[in-house]
Amino acid sequence: MKITLKDGSVKVYEAAASVYDIAFDISEGLARAACCAKIDGETVDLRTVIDHDCELSICTANDGEGLAAIRHTASHVLAEAVKNLFPEAKLAIGPSIDTGFYYDFDHEAFSREDLDALEAEMKKIIKKGEKLEKFTLPRAEAIEFMKERQEPYKVELIQDLPEDAEISFYRQGEFVDLCAGPHLMSTKGVKAFKLTSSSMAYWRGDSDKARLQRIYGTAYNKKEDLAVHLERMEDAKRRDHNRLGREMELFTTVDVIGQGLPLFTPRGTKMLMKLQRWIEDLEDKEWGYVRTRTPLMAKSDLYKMSGHWDHYKEGMFVLGDEEKDREVYALRPMTCPFQYYVYKNTQKSYRDLPYRMSETSTLFRNEDSGEMHGLTRVRQFTITEGHLVVRPDQMVEEFKGCIALAKYCLTTLGVEEDVTYHLSKWDPENREKYIGEPEVWNETEQHIRDILTELEIPFVEDVGEAAFYGPKVDINAKNVYGKEDTMITIQWDALLAEQFDMYYIDQNGDKIRPYIIHRTSMGCYERTLAWLIEKYAGKFPTWLCPEQVRVLPISEKYEAYAAKVLRELRARDIDAEVDNRSEKIGFKIREARLARVPYMLVVGQQEEEEGLVSVRSRFAGDEGQKPLAQFLEQICEEIRTKEIRKEEQQEEKG
């Protein structure tokens, strides 16, 4: 058999051989470093026997697949440790993930002390260095095998596997787990690991199923790599918007109000207002939108027309009982059907299109309580929602325009390099989730594919992520912990105009169905604020800061001059405050720095006599004395242009 290696070279073997044996034949060092392999693109175990011509790539810890094999093996070591220390615990699932691994157990909550004890037990298991051995069983035997071991979750997993699925297990010493692999050859390959946290998780992500305990961990091939990761995780904790946003008094939540219903303080509200005014002016004055204002609820009739009642009802807050009440209402989860009736309010001709409607829309979605997190997953949120009603011949250019607007917003916020683009497609194997015929879906998906290719935007394609009425572009970003959320969505809709009897009059006087683009320009205000908190660790660009300048009089003798400076700042719409406390100036400066205020203006005798301010900034430390007029001109320009000023040096401690 001919084995084509990653570098293009070919090795010939007379008999079947395992991947490990081939790696050893290439070099002993490669065999020691190998974690798994890819055969014709499929990731496999080193134990896998090759008996045919193929392309083979040996994966080490430097490859994503190799690192995943280390982490997957670490999850099995964790499971064995849990069974050793807590034999009553039941095993659920334990995959590798982008940041490490986790394992779910049916057990009471694990404390930090429990995690420390489990780490110690894992080290003992790793030191023993048991080989991992793979074996398979027929379905009936596999079910009985796990029943004997009293592992009901594993029994359920086996029962749900396809009839023709191979049911494989991995054994390490006395411990056995249901698993498809791949894994390392022995537990000794787990060289650097850490259990990082534990939390509640629902079995199979379903809130109606059992509540489990999930232990998170991470693993690397080298202790140095683990140390870098742990430091990165500490930085993530410092940046976590759910912690930092509360510390900065931007928002809070209250149990008696409810989960997923944040309260914004004056500081957080000011930031949201700045974002909203910017977006509304941008869309209305520069991108040709008209602004609408529509109700927060509607009768179920509206959602039945749009299809949301059939496809999205479980995600809506329904007001009333369909079986008893003459009229049932629901809080709106989206604005599109409301804006359709704004469009239909007057007859439109082909000359009136495109008709671009935008609204700062407050929406409501009945998210699962287990999904709630800070500002990124909430039940009430506000979005920069818009719908463009266009002629079919305008669709491609208008779709490009929506992408251009989204990219402009991302660039202005300084996050354009942090996103990935996704073409979210329908799933033809699950047609009941969608409306429309396959031909329409295939055509519209190809249009979006062509647009992204023409614009030279790298993208991936996600099956099953489309809206029920059309494919879309999702612009995603990861939070500090690596979880990906959709920030901006642009959807192609060639179907809903029919259901709402929307039309325009063409040049021949005929009624023609328009196309619709559903889009956001910046996305959800709450999620965007969370993103910005984590991106900038609370050190926002000056234009976005709730407090842009703090005036610091050296003593009470200069409070009058400080008040004058404050009036000049506020007269130019600069958000400024004065610190008149009878504290030393060094203390006031430290307090302002801790509050992440961009600029501090220290004023004393010389500043008052000569109309100056002594400028200290987050960006360059002590910037020296400047005429007040000069500082005002500079900061107004920075705010007007929405400049993202870089920190040139760390300010000295004072």
Give residue for tokens 């693109």: 41
Q: Residue 542: CA atoms inside 13 Å, Cβ hemisphere, count?
A: 27
Select from 324, 333, 319 the least CA-distant residue to 361.
333
Q: Residue 433: CA atoms inside 13 Å, Cβ hemisphere, count?
A: 15
Give exposure, 367-394, as e/b (b: 16+ Cβ within 10 Å): beebebbbbbbbbbbbbbbbbbbbbeeb
Do you find a cis peptide bond into 541, omega within 30 degrees of 0?
no
What is the rounded CA–CA span in Å between residue 105 and residue 83?
10
Please give the backbone phi and psi of residue 206, each rounded to the nearest 5 degrees, phi first.
-110, 120
What is the rounded CA–CA span in Å between residue 46 and residue 73?
13
What is the rounded CA–CA span in Å between residue 587 and residue 168?
65
Please report the pLDDT score of residue 650 as a whole number: 54
CA max distance for the chain: 95
Residue-wise pLDDT tens digits, 579-611: 999 999 999 999 999 999 999 999 999 999 999
Consecutive sets of 10 residues in the chain, 654 residues long: mean pLDDT of each? Answer: 90 93 93 94 93 94 94 97 97 93 96 96 96 94 95 95 91 95 94 94 87 96 94 92 96 93 97 97 97 96 90 90 91 94 96 97 88 89 96 96 97 95 93 88 95 96 91 94 91 92 96 96 96 96 98 96 98 97 95 96 97 96 96 98 86 44
Sign of CA dihedral 323, 325, 326, 331: negative
Grouping H, G, I as helix, E, B as strand and the rest as coil, residue 468 is: coil
What size, in residues, is the chain? 654
Any bridge partners for residue 489, and if so which?
474
546, containing H or E segment: none
What is the rounded CA–CA span in Å between residue 97 and residue 482?
10
What is the rounded CA–CA span in Å between residue 566 and residue 440?
60
Please report the pLDDT score of residue 240 as a whole number: 95
What is the rounded CA–CA span in Å between residue 364 and residue 378?
9
CA 200 distance to own-chain centroid = 20
Rg (CA), the chain: 30
What is the rounded CA–CA span in Å between residue 85 and residue 285?
65
Distances (CA, A) of 45 to 21, 57, 222, 404: 12, 12, 21, 45
